[in-house]
C-alpha cells in the first residue's frame, strides 16, 4: 500500500474510492477528474484490484505534487471482485462522506462542492445521501486515447428517489451518488458475493432506512463503451448482460423468499412488483412514442391535403 506523503491531521470531508485493474488510460482520467474538483477537502483511495501495480504507481508518482498527500493506493495481490474492492477502499480512509468514483467515469469540477454542500444542509433530516443528474458519454478506446462519440442526458427525468421506484431497477450510477459514511454502519457495506448489481442492492438497503435527495444538475459523467471488444474496457452492462439478468433474478428471488419465510409483505414483494410495473411503464412509453410518431406522419399527410382543399375553395368560390 502506498500512503500519502503528508497525513491529514483530521479526517477529510470526503473519501473518494476508485476501483481499477489494468486500465491506466482510464485511471489517469479518473485521477484528473478528482484533482479538478473545486472542493479540496477529500482523500482519494485507489484500489488496484489484482492488476499490474507498475502503471498505477507511475500515475501516483506523476500526480504526487497535485495530490499533496491526498492519495492512498491499495494494491490487492489478487482480484477480490468489484464490491470487495469497494469495501477495501471504504475502510482505507476515514471521512464524513463517501462516494464511489469508478475508474472509467468522471465529474464536472463542481460535483463535490455541490453535493457536500447539499448534504451539509440536511443535517438532522432523514436525507443521508444525494445524487446529481448524469450525462451519458459514449466513447471508444483508440490506442492510449479515449475518443468521445456523443453526449446525451442520462437520467434528467429523476426529480426524487423513492424506494418503490428503486425496487423496479437502479435509478442512478455510482458516480453520481455521495452519502454519509455513517450509513455503512447502519445498512452494511457492499455485498461481496455479488459480481454485479452490488450498487442496486446497496441502494435498496439504503432507502429501506433513509432518504436520498436529488440535485438536478448534470455534474456526473457516466461513460459507456458499447462497441468495445476488449473485455478489459467493456462496461459490465454491455460485457456481462447475461450475468446482470441472472443476478437481477437472484436478488429478487432472495428478497421474495425472505417475505415468504416471514409471512409478510416486504421488500421482496416490492422489488418483484416494481419490476413488472417498470416493464409496463416501458411498454406504455413505447406505445405513446409510436402513437406520437403516427400522429406526426398523419399530420404530414393531411397538411398538404388541407392546403389543396383551401386552394380549391378559393379558386372555385366554394
If you write DSSP's letter for every residue of 45-74 in order, what string do you get?
A: EEEEESS-HHHHHHHHHHTHHHHTT-EEEE
Digitized pLDDT (tens) for each residue of the chain, 318 residues in all: 444 434 445 789 999 999 999 999 999 999 999 999 999 999 999 999 999 999 999 999 999 999 999 999 999 999 999 999 999 999 999 999 999 999 999 999 999 999 999 999 999 999 999 999 999 999 998 888 899 999 999 999 999 999 988 988 899 999 999 999 999 999 999 999 999 999 999 999 999 999 999 999 999 999 999 876 566 666 655 556 788 899 999 998 898 898 889 888 788 777 777 665 666 655 655 665 665 656 665 566 667 767 766 777 777 766
Grid cell 434528467 is found at 156
Give the separation between CA 29 and CA 60, rounded to whole angstroms: 12
- Interior CA angle at 186 toward 260 and 76, to 5°? 100
Torsion of CA 297, 300, 306, 307, to 10 degrees: -170
pLDDT computed for residue 316 by the predictor: 74
pLDDT computed for residue 259 by the predictor: 86
Phi/psi at 49 (nearest 5 deg)? Answer: -90, 75
pTM assigned to the model: 0.81
pLDDT computed for residue 5 by the predictor: 39
pLDDT computed for residue 192 by the predictor: 96
Amino acid at each position: 500500500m502506498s500512503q500519502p506523503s503528508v497525513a491529514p491531521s483530521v479526517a477529510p470531508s470526503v473519501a473518494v474510492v476508485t476501483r481499477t485493474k489494468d486500465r491506466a488510460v482510464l485511471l489517469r482520467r479518473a485521477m484528473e477528474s478528482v484533482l479538478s474538483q473545486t472542493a479540496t477537502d477529500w482523500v482519494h483511495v485507489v484500489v488496484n484490484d489484482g492488476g499490474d501495480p507498475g502503471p498505477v504507481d507511475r500515475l501516483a508518482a506523476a500526480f504526487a505534487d497535485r495530490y499533496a498527500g491526498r492519495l492512498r493506493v491499495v494494491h490487492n495481490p489478487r482480484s477480490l471482485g468489484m464490491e470487495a474492492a469497494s469495501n477495501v477502499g471504504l475502510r482505507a480512509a476515514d471521512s464524513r462522506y463517501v462516494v464511489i468514483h469508478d475508474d472509467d467515469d468522471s465529474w464536472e469540477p463542481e460535483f463535490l462542492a455541490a453535493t457536500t454542500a447539499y448534504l451539509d444542509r440536511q443535517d438532522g433530516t432523514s436525507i443521508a445521501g444525494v445524487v446529481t443528474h448524469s450525462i451519458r458519454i459514449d466513447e471508444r478506446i483508440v490506442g492510449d486515447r479515449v475518443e468521445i462519440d456523443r453526449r446525451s442526458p442520462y437520467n434528467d427525468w429523476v426529480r426524487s428517489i423513492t424506494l418503490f421506484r428503486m425496487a423496479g431497477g437502479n435509478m442512478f450510477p455510482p458516480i453520481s451518488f455521495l452519502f454519509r459514511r455513517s450509513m455503512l454502519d447502519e445498512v452494511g457495506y457492499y455485498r461481496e458475493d455479488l459480481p454485479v448489481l452490488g450498487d442496486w442492492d446497496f441502494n435498496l438497503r439504503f432507502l429501506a432506512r433513509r432518504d436520498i435527495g436529488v440535485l438536478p444538475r448534470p455534474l456526473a459523467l457516466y461513460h459507456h463503451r458499447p462497441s468495445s471488444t476488449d473485455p478489459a474496457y467493456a462496461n459490465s452492462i454491455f460485457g456481462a448482460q447475461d450475468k446482470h439478468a441472472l443476478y437481477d433474478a437472484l436478488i429478487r428471488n432472495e428478497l421474495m423468499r425472505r417475505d415468504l419465510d416471514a409471512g409478510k409483505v416486504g421488500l421482496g414483494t416490492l422489488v418483484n412488483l416494481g419490476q413488472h410495473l417498470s416493464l409496463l411503464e416501458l411498454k406504455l412509453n413505447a406505445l405513446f412514442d409510436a402513437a406520437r410518431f403516427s400522429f406526426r406522419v398523419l399530420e404530414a399527410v393531411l397538411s398538404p391535403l388541407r392546403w389543396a382543399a383551401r386552394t380549391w375553395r378559393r379558386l372555385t368560390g366554394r
